[in-house]
Structure 1
Amino acid sequence: MAIVETELEPGHRPPVDAAGPAAGDGPRRRDFLNIAAVSFAGVGAATVLIPLVNQMNPSADVLALASIEVDLSKIAAGSGIKVAWRKQPVFVRYLTPAEIAEAKAVPIASLRDPQTLDQRTKPGKENWLITMAVCTHLGCVPLGITPGEDRGQYGGYFCPCHGSQYDTAGRIRAGPAPRNLAVPDYSFTSANSVQIG
């Protein structure tokens, strides 16, 4: 039997079986190389991304302060204490009945950042005002947590940096601060104990 060679015109290819390789051929070397390359790239990407994402997690000292317990038994009415939570100062203040009445008497419509005292305290515990001790203007720590400090004309807190004044509910009343002192997440764990965070 003679083999006849035919010359193909330029641009023509020999016919290819439309069914592709026979079923018994299995994966080709090129398929293996593609799978190996993609797998290697995936492992490399994971090796780079895991430390990158992990470095965004809070440090151990911040996690240790994720929540703090504050003893309320030593705080006198009309006074308060400053504690550190997540490296930020927090005011814990024991309001007197006169301070509560003064905060409730303020017309809400007259406030720059309208909130009632009830919205800023827990039900049945309106005598305990817990706020971040950071002025909402530029982050200074206001005065007024103890009775001897300047509390401004509204009896709450006075920021010595730029003159912002807060009332007995920690609401902004005068000065450049745009918002009330922030209220962190907290809950009472007993009659004399509060957990912040």
Structure 2
Amino acid sequence: MATVDNAVPPGESPEPFEETVENPRRRDYLSIGAVAFAGVGAGVIALPLINQMNPSEDVLALSTTEVDLSSIEPGQAITTSFRKQPLFVRNLTQKEIAEADAVPLSDLRDPETLEQRTKEGHKNWLITLGVCTHLGCVPLGAGEGENRGPYGGYFCPCHGSMYDTAARIRQGPAPKNLFVPDYKFTSDTSVLVGEA
């Protein structure tokens, strides 16, 4: 009978099995490398997807509108375009300003003063989107001889919403005043709509 050198004598426990342990630093390096590689890959895939959501050049060109105010006389209004929507620019007379200031805020559905709707030092310039806040029709009142309604501002022919000289809703189904976009005066006769 042959003897085996590795045999364990009876009554003794075998020696514990020794495992080979990898270098922990090598394992950490591989894990970090794999995560970094996956992160770079996700970034390479995500960047074009996110970039395609940026506005195109033609949209950026329409993001602001410059309006020349020099030809608009007191009491007149013009209609121009801002982001493919009508924009009303009105040069209020002193009488129209006084009428707007005389209205108690408690009488208004969407209470705002004329000062809140215009820029300081330019109270006579009222700039609003020409879109009724009821269902999006274009109100009358900016063109020469158009119906301005009983409050002297704008009249929506679709459902009868009536706005005062500060373009605030006074009567009809519209829930809000005509929207005042962000704008700034670049000179006494020029305004840039789309920037505050």
TM value normalised by structure 1: 0.82
Are 2:117 and 1:120 equivalent residues in the alignment?
Answer: yes
The residue number in structure 2 matching 1:188 is: 185
Separation in 2, partners of 1:127, 1:179: 21
Aligned residues: 187
Instruction: Give the superposition deviation at 1:81.
Output: 1.1
Separation in 2, partners of 1:5, 1:156: 107
Separation in 2, partners of 1:5, 1:43: 55
Q: CA RMSD in A?
A: 2.7
What is the aligned-residue identity percentage? 63
The match for 2:107 among 91, 96, 110 is 110
The residue number in structure 1 matching 2:60 is: 63
The match for 1:50 among 25, 31, 47 is 47
The residue number in structure 2 matching 1:174 is: 171
The residue number in structure 1 matching 2:153 is: 156
Are 2:75 and 1:72 equivalent residues in the alignment?
Answer: no
Instruction: Give the superposition deviation at 1:31.
Output: 5.9
The residue number in structure 1 matching 2:17 is: 14
Separation in 1, partners of 2:122, 2:28: 69
1:28-52 Cα distance to aligned partner (Å, 9 max, x none): 5x66664554344323322332122
CA contact (8 A) 2:79 2:143 kept: no
The residue number in structure 1 matching 2:91 is: 94
Deviation larger for 35-44 or 124-133: 35-44
SS in 1 for 2:54: coil
The residue number in structure 1 matching 2:82 is: 85
Separation in 1, partners of 2:139, 2:112: 20
Instruction: Give the superposition deviation at 1:142.
Output: 1.1
One-letter amino acid of the counterpart of residue 46, structure 1: G
The match for 2:142 among 145, 148, 163 is 145
1:109-145 Cα distance to aligned partner (Å, 9 max, x none): 1100000111111122111101111111122211111
SS in 2 for 1:83: strand
Instruction: Give the superposition deviation at 1:97.
Output: 1.3
Unaligned residue ranges in structure 2 (runs of 5+): none
CA contact (8 A) 1:78 1:147 kept: no
Pair 1:165–1:4, CA change in 2 (3 A) = same
TM value normalised by structure 2: 0.83
